[in-house]
Amino acid sequence: MGALLVEIRDLVQVLQVKKKLPWKVRGGPPRGIYLLAAILRTALGIGVAVVLGTFGQISGGFGAVIAGMAAPKIIESLRTQTIASAPQPQAHEMIRNQATPAPSRRTASEITEGEAAQDAT
């Protein structure tokens, strides 16, 4: 319900400012894409509200409406927390990897000449 309210508010805001439907505004998305995005965002809001209600994080209708409205921000927050908690390479490992000299590159003829010189001694 909350996500649907956000979609309606966004639609009304575009209508008030541009005096046209969003898909008729120059540079706006096609109608099908706009409606698909609105349906997906609404479904996302409903899903977040259901999950939070199932696990006892919210109680009552008002909490579900607020969770639905905040669903995109909740998902973004979870995503950034997951990225931030991923293991990062330690500074000393990065320095050690940069300080490691690159292996020398010798051609086949240089290797053969060097081995021949060692065999001669």
Domain limits, the chain: 2-99
| pLDDT at position 112 | 59
**pLDDT class of 96 with cuts at 50, 70, 90:** low
pLDDT tens-place string over residues 38-87 = 898 889 888 888 888 888 888 888 888 888 888 877 777 877 777 666 66
> What is the pTM assigned to this prediction?
0.55
| Spatial contact of 57 and 70, defined as CB atoms under 8 Å apart | no
* DSSP run (H or E) holding 8: helix 2-18
CA–CA separation, 53 and 61 (whole Å): 10
Closest to 52 (Cα-Cα) out of 39, 37, 76, 70: 70
Burial track 31-65 (b if 16+ CB lie within 10 A, e otherwise):
eeebeeebeebbebbbebbeebbeeeebeeeeebb
Average pLDDT over residues 19-38: 90
